Structure 1
Amino acid sequence: MSGRRYLQALLLASSATLYPLSVSALDEVSDSHCDCYVTNGSSSTYFTTHHFYDFRSMSDYAGVPDPIDDPNESSAAYATSDYFLSDDWNDNWGIQSWNNSDSVESGDAPVLMVHSANNIYIEENSDDNPTSDTFMTLRTLRLEGYQSSAEFESISPNYHYISIRMLARTVGAPGAVTAMFTYKDNGDPNQLEHVQESDLEIRTMDPPDTIQYTNQPSYSIQGDDIPQATRNVTVPQDLDWTKWAVHRMDWTPTDTTWFIDGGEVASIAFQTPRDPSKVVFNAWSDGGHWAGNMSVGSEAYLHVQWIELVYNLTEGYPTSDKRSVDESGNFLSKRADRCHNVCSIDETSTIGTAVLVHGGASKLLGHVVGFKNACFWIPLLAMALVF
C-alpha cells in the first residue's frame, strides 16, 4: 500500500475518534506498553516514566508509634514497619533525620525541629465511611523542648520535569506546615539566587480553604516579598485541605501548575525551576513566623492514600527508562519510534494505571496530544489529501 493510500486508510479508521472518547473506551495497559505519557491541562507535557505508590491496603504494616521524648533518640529512630525497609520504598525514597539546630543557634528558628522515621507510618483508616483500609501518615508534634517532624525525599536528585499527584488531606492543630515540592539542593540554602523550588504548602494556622503555591524564592535578600512568585489560593469548601482530594503539581519547562481533583487552581511561570531536582514530602514546624507555633502536646498530620508520578530523568542517572532527557529537558531517544505508544494517567478510570491514548498513528499525526487534539489535526490532514 502506498504511503498516500495508507494515510487515507488511517484517517478513515480514525473517524470514530473525531469526537472525544469516554474513558471506558480507552485500553488499560501495563507500563511496559507505554513509550511515554502525556498529561492534560494548560501545560500538557510528555514524560518517560510512571510510578504509583499505594498505601490503601497495608493493614499488615499498620500501627501508630508512640512519640519519642528525647530529640537524639527521635533522630535515630528505626523504621516504623517493614514496608519502610522494603526495596519498593528504599529504592525510591529516603526518610530524613536531620535537624535545624544551626538555625536555632543563629536565631532564625525559635524551636528545635528534628525529623524522625518514627513520624512516618501506616495507619488504619477509621473514617466513618472509609475510602481505604489504610493510609500513610506524616506526623509533626510539639514535645517538651522540641518539635518532632517528618520528611522523606526522592533517592534521585535528577527529576527534570515531573507531574506529582497525591490523594491526601491535612488535619490537626495550628502551627504546622504540610508540603509536597521539588527542590534543587545548591549546598547553601542561604544563597537565594541559587534556590530552585516549586511548592505546595498547607499551613494549619490558615483557613482550611487556603493553600499556598510558590516558585521559590518568594522573598529577596533584603527580606522583601516577591509577589510574582506566589499564589495564595482560596479553594472551594468541598476541596479544603481537611478533606481527601487529589493534589497535583506539574513542573514543566515553561511553568509550574497546580490542580485539585483535576481542576487547575494556580499556575506560575515566574522563576520556574530550571535544573534537575529532588521530590520532597513533609510535615513540620519550627515555631517561626511562617509555620506558626504549636502548643506543647499538639499534633498535625499529612495523610496520604497514594502517590503517583510521571516524570523524566536527566542523562547519566541510572534508570530503566526507555528514554531519558538531556540537561535542557530534551528527549534522548534510544529507539527510532520515540513516542510510538502514548499513554495517559489522566484518562484512566482506575487510579494507578495507564491507558493507551494513541499508538502507531502518533508519528503521522505529529505526536499530537490525545484524542481531543487529534480531532483538530485529522480533518486538516484529510483536506490536504484532496490537493
Structure 2
Amino acid sequence: MAFAWITVAAVASLSLRGVDAATTPPGSSPTTSPYSNSTKPGLQLTTDANCTCYRTNSSTANYFSHHSFFDFRSMGQYVHTPPILQDSQANINAPATNTFFSSNNWTNMWTAQNWDNGALMKANNSDVTGSDATLYMVNSPNNIYIEHNSDVLGKREVATRDTPTYMVMRTARLNAFQTSAEIESSSTGYRFLSVRMYARTIGAPGAITAMFTYRPGVNNALNSVQESDLEIRTRDPPTRVQFTNQPSWNADGDIPQATRNVTIPGGNRWNDWAHYRMDWTPGSTTWYVDGQLASTITFQAPRDASQVMFNSWSDGGTWSGNMSTNGAAFLQIQWIEMVFNNTDAAYMPKPGGCTNMCSIDETPVTGTPVLVASGGRSSGDDDDDDDSGVSALSVPVVTLVVALVLCFIQF
C-alpha cells in the first residue's frame, strides 16, 4: 500500500472497506436464526445502512466494516435441476442455470467458474502445482442451481415449510471426466473476515466440498500459496471435517502443523444441516460448527488480501479420491453470510468509524444485524445499567483500538 504514514483517524476510515448492502434475493423471508446465542434483551434489529462496523463473538471476537448475506431458502421461482452435461466443452460453455445467477445482485460479488485442470495435469508436478490429479475435471455453471427442499423432518434438519429451497453445488463422475462446481468472489481484496454457511454435504465417496479463502502463490508455486480451508471429504466418516492453512505438504512430505482432521463437535454429521463458520483474523484461522469451537490454526495463517471460494469437486487425486463412474456428490447451501474488511480501492470507506456497532451473532433473525451500540451508547441499556460488554465510553475507545490494529495489519 502507498499510504503507510497516515493518521490513526485516516486508518480507521481507509482500512475499513467493503460492500455496504446486505444482499437478500427477492422473495426471501428471514427466519429465526438456528445458531443465535443472544442473551441480551432489547437489541434492535436494523439494516446494514445503519451499521458502521460489526463485532463478532466468541474466542476470535473482532471488528469488521461490512456485511453480506445471500439467502437461498425462498427461491421457488428459480427452481430447476439441470441434467448433467455429458460433454466437457458443453460444461465449459454452459450458461447460468437461472436468471438470479446471471443478475447483478449475484455477479457483483460471485463468479461461477468454468476452468478445467488440463494444464495442471500436463504439469504433472504436485510439489509445484499442488495437484496429483488423475482425472480431467471441468468446472461448470451448469452445476450451480436452486432445488426444492424435500427433507423429511429430523433432529437437526430445518423444517421444509421454513426453507423450501436451497442452492446446490454438484460434482459428478462421467466416463471420461469429472464435472464440478466452484464460485469465487469477484473481489480478491478480502483481508480478514468471518464467513459462514448453513449447509450439508451428501453423495458418493470421492468428492470434496469446501468453503475457503485463497491467494495464489508467486508464479502459482505451491510453497507460497496462502489459503484457509474448511473441507469435507465424502470418503471420510460423516463425523469428520478437515481444517487447513495451506500448504499442507511439500517435497519433504506432509506438514502436520498446517492441518487438522477433527470430529465435528456436538455429535453432528456433515450430511446433516449445520452452521459452518470460519474466522480469518491476523495470525490465525478459527473454525466453528453450530457455534462450537472446532479448531484454531496459527501456523502459516494467511497474511495478504485473498478471494473467498466455495466448491464441490473431485479429480481422482490423492486428496479427493476417485469417484465411481455415474456417482455424484452435492454441497447444499441454505445461505451464505460474511462480515469482512476489503482492501480494494474500488470500495468506498464507511463514514462514522465504529459509532453504530452491529452484530450478526446476537441476532434472532438470520441475515439481519442487531444494533449493539449507537453513538457511543450500548443498545438496550437504560440510564443506570450497562451489562452489554460495551460501555457508553467504550465505543470511541474501540474505534481507536480498531484503528491502531488496522494500522498495524494493513502495512
The aligned amino acid for 2:307 is K
TM-score normalised by length of structure 2: 0.78
Q: What is the SS of the residue equivalent to 1:25?
A: coil
Between the aligned partners of 2:183 and 2:278, the Cα distance in structure 1 is 17
1:71-101 per-residue CA deviation (whole Å, 9 max, x = no partner) reads 0111111111111111111111000000011
Residue of structure 2 in register with 1:199 after alignment: 229
Confirm or deny: 8 A CA contact 1:357 1:371 kept in the other structure. no
Q: In the aligned structure 2, how far is the partner of 1:53 from the partner of 1:120? A: 14
C-alpha deviations, 1:122-154, integer Å up to 9, x for none? 001011132411000000000010000000100
- 1:271 is aligned to 2:288: no
Unmatched tracts of structure 2, length 5 or more: 1-36, 125-131, 154-159, 379-385, 395-411
Please list the CA deviations of residues 36-68 of structure 1 after superposition, one character each: whole Å capped at 9, or x if unmatched. Answer: 001011121100000100000001000100011
- Show the counterpart of 1:350: 365
Specify the code of the residue in structure 1 equivalent to 2:177: Y
Aligned to 1:214: 244
Please say if residues 24 and 349 of structure 1, whose CA atoms lie closer than 8 Å, have aligned partners that are also in contact.
Answer: no
TM-score normalised by structure 1 residue count: 0.83
SS in structure 1 of the partner of residue 151 of structure 2: coil
What letter is aligned with 2:249?
A: Y
The Cα shift of 1:24 comes to 4.3
> Distance in 2 between the 1:315 and 1:95 partners?
21
Q: 1:169: which partner in 2? A: 200
Letter paired with 1:215: N
1:374 is displaced (CA, Å) by 3.7
> 1:319 aligned to 2:347?
yes
Counterparts of 1:111-190 in structure 2, within 5 Å, are 111-129=135-153, 130=160, 131-186=162-217, 188-189=219-220
SS in structure 2 of the partner of residue 188 of structure 1: helix
Partner Cα separation in structure 2 for residue 118 and residue 144 of structure 1: 18
Distance 1:99 1:226, change over 3 A: same
1:372–1:223: structure 2 CA closer, same or farther, 3 Å change rule?
farther
Q: Which residue of 1 aligns with 2:400?
A: none
Q: Which of 289, 295, 301 pairs up with 1:260?
A: 289
Q: String of CA shifts for 1:85-121, please: whole Å, max 9, x gaps.
A: 1111111100000001123334431100000011000
Conservation of the 8 A alpha-carbon contact between 1:110 and 1:286? yes
Q: Structure 1: 5+ residue runs without aligned partners?
A: 1-19, 323-334, 364-369, 379-387
Residue of 92, 100, 103 corresponding to 2:120: 103
Corresponding residue for 1:306?
Answer: 335
Rounded to whole Å, the distance in 2 between the matches of 1:351 and 1:23 is: 16
Q: Tell me if the contact between 2:265 and 2:289 (Cα under 8 Å) persists in the aligned partners.
A: no
Paired residues of 2:133 and 2:317 also in contact (CA < 8 A): yes
Looking at structure 2, the residues matched to 140 and 306 of structure 1 have their Cα atoms a distance apart, in angstroms, of: 19
2:333 corresponds to which letter in structure 1? V
Please give the alpha-carbon distance, in whole angstroms, between the structure 2 residues aligned to 1:223 and 1:176: 26
Distance 1:21 1:313, change over 3 A: closer
Q: Shift of the alpha carbon at 1:319?
A: 1.9
Contact 2:377 2:392 in 1 (8 A): no
* Alpha carbons of structure 1 residues 352 and 21: separation in structure 2 relative to 1, 3 Å: closer
User: Which one has a bigger Cα radius of gyration?
Assistant: 1
Q: Distance in 2 between matches of 1:97 and 1:302?
A: 17
**Contact between 2:171 and 2:330, CA under 8 Å: does it hold in 1?**
yes
Contact 2:38 2:363 in 1 (8 A): no
The answer for the alignment partner of 2:389 in structure 1 is: 373
| Aligned match of 1:327 | none
Aligned to 1:56: 73
SS at match of 1:373: coil
RMSD (Å) for aligned C-alpha atoms:
2.2
Identity of aligned residues (%): 49
Distance 2:304 2:313 in 1: 26
SS of the equivalent of 2:277 reads: strand
Kindly provide the CA deviation profile for residues 1-56 of structure 1, in whole angstroms up to 9, marking residues without a partner as x. xxxxxxxxxxxxxxxxxxx9734421111111111001011121100000100000
Secondary structure, counterpart of 2:146 in structure 1: strand
Distance 1:24 1:81, change over 3 A: farther
1:79 is aligned, of 78, 83, 96, to 96
For residues 48 and 392 of structure 2, what CA distance do their matches in structure 1 show?
28
Q: 1:174 to 1:376 in 2, by over 3 A?
A: farther
CA shift for structure 1 position 359 = 1.9
